[in-house]
Amino acid sequence: MINHRRLVVVLPAYNAEKTLQRTIDQVPRDIVDEIILTDDASRDGTVELSRRMGLRTFVHDRNRGYGGNQKTCYREALRCGADIVVMLHPDYQNDPRLVRAMGSLIAEGVYDAVIASRILGGGAMRGGMPFYKYLSNRALTLVQNLMTGKKLSEYHTGYRAFSAEVLRSLPIEGNSDDFVFDNQMLLQTLLFGFRLGEISCPTSYHDEASSISLRRSVRYGFGVLKTGLQYALARAGRATGPFRSDGARLEIPAPDAGAELPRAASPGV
């Protein structure tokens, strides 16, 4: 808890058994009230390890995709009473100790949302980001800054924190279940007038860190461009897709002590 505000860390997990322990070991537990892991039908021992570690664990019966996994993370965090939610990938690519700084910026009322940038401070290349990914990151960020009129250092980090108000207000239920979910949510945060801050984040591209294929990276890039265009249209009064003000918000289940999702049918990817 920070400044009397309940802080919850959510981990969208897929085959994270090899890196989960290292990630959790560096989470600042003195300020974190709950850690929630949502497993997206992993093929390894992620679920078993998470439960042995005492994490609040939710399991998808089928792979729902990266965006679908995040929706569950945020939904369950709000259900357990979170005031601040920090999303941290359990692949140990980003420094978990930054949870304290990110959460504090929201708890103290400085920002409503915070992203941890790999670009600020030059940490991306030093941490081993592949050159083609660095170039695509810079190109897409330049284009989206032009489209949004903002000056963010990047739009593509998966390490981010939100106040509960942001999570309840944004129409993220209708966002993509794929990787472009991150970009849609970030631009929704900007369009709906929430205060967004950035901090510098060292990163590590090691063998066990998660990554997406070139084909999916290209698809993500086109999705980012589409999202930027939709944002620009929304600013001009022609909101479509994820930027419609009447879009679906998260449906928050009633609080309970359950630790596993019902085995309902879910969309594959």
Domains in the chain and their CATH numbers? Answer: 7-242 (3.90.550.10)
At 170-192, the pLDDT tens digits run: 999 999 999 999 999 999 999 99
Query: What is the residue type of 193?
Result: G
Distance of alpha carbon 66 from alpha carbon 14, whole angstroms: 9
At 29-59, the pLDDT tens digits run: 999 999 999 999 999 999 999 999 999 999 9
Whether residue 227 contacts residue 242, with contact meaning beta carbons closer than 8 Å, is answered with yes
What burial class does residue 213 get, using C-beta atoms within 10 Å of its C-beta: 0-12 exposed, 13-18 middle, 19+ buried? exposed
Query: What is the mean predicted confidence (pLDDT) over 192-200?
Result: 97
Which residues have a Cβ under 8 Å from the Cβ of 165 and sit 6 or more positions away? 112
Distance of alpha carbon 204 from alpha carbon 123, whole angstroms: 9
Q: What is the pTM of this model?
A: 0.90
At 77-113, the pLDDT tens digits run: 999 999 999 999 999 999 999 999 999 999 999 999 9
Which residues have a Cβ under 8 Å from the Cβ of 267 and sit 6 or more positions away? 62, 64, 65, 68, 177
